[in-house]
Amino acid sequence: MTEWARGWSLCGLACAVVSFACGGGSEESGEPVAVDSPCEGPELTFAPRGTYRVEVRERGQVYRSEITFEPFDGGWSAIEGELHVEPATDALGTLAGAELRWTLDQDGVPLEPPTESGSAHPGVLQNLTVFAFRPSGLTMSPVCEGAAATRRWVDGMERTRTVAFEVQEVDDEAVTFAVRSTVTTAVNEWASEGRLRVKRADGFTGEAEVEVTGPGGRRHEREVTIARAP
């Protein structure tokens, strides 16, 4: 799973490689590619509609935000705001009124660093975004049990991000993945592993439960829930 450890921010997309495999076959491409037969199933695309509420729980803290998507030719724009942290702390600066404006590719991966507004301390907002806690780019066509993919890119801060995901279950409503991810910097690496369930209707709504491993082997659990706003 793309590592959503704090301190990560899924910034600019410098390069992307996607490889898919089913029944032993695989290939690499800058775009998602179809999986050869005998793998048959529906496709999973990134197609959010309107506004979503995000909640993250880890290490006794709760992070919340709201994000609204709009399509454009070849991708998505997104405005993320209503950021909150519980328990509150002055160390973050002022979160009230803060916003992040994102440009995403067709699979929901940020193409460039966001435009920030508000009075939070420098570097804070990109560590509180949904893109810092939950993997992006989990698209596949077709989707069937056992189908697997790996997506890798270098973000705008020159960190290498890798997410490997394998389909465990497909039903009429959702796809469940086993996910492993890493983010590698010049000085350290974060990793996470767990399960993610995403609804087929939009490729975004869902839940994730992962174990995060940071530098020095420190570990903690993380839960991420994304739901359509009323």
Domain segments of the chain as ranges: 15-228
At 130, phi and psi to the nearest 5?
Answer: -60, -30
CA distance 40 to 36: 8
Site of tokens 């209503």: 82
Q: How far is CA 96 from CA 47, 81, 108, 140, 161, in A?
A: 29, 9, 26, 37, 30
CA distance 111 to 108: 9
Which candidate, 185, 176, 193, places its Cα nearest to that of 138? 176
Distance of CA 27 to the CA centre of its chain: 23
pLDDT tens series, the chain, 230 aa: 333 333 333 333 223 334 444 443 333 333 443 344 447 778 999 999 999 999 999 999 999 999 999 999 999 999 999 999 999 888 999 999 999 999 999 999 887 889 999 999 998 998 899 988 998 899 998 899 999 999 887 765 677 889 999 999 999 999 999 999 998 988 999 999 999 999 999 999 999 999 999 999 999 999 999 999 99
CB contact at 8 A, 213 and 189: no
| Amino acid 36: pLDDT | 42
| Amino acid 157: pLDDT | 64
| Amino acid 156: pLDDT | 59
| Amino acid 110: pLDDT | 85
Partnered with residue 81 across adjacent β-strands are: 66
| Amino acid 3: pLDDT | 34
At 19, phi and psi to the nearest 5?
Answer: -130, 140
CATH 2.40.128 fits 15-228, yes or no: yes
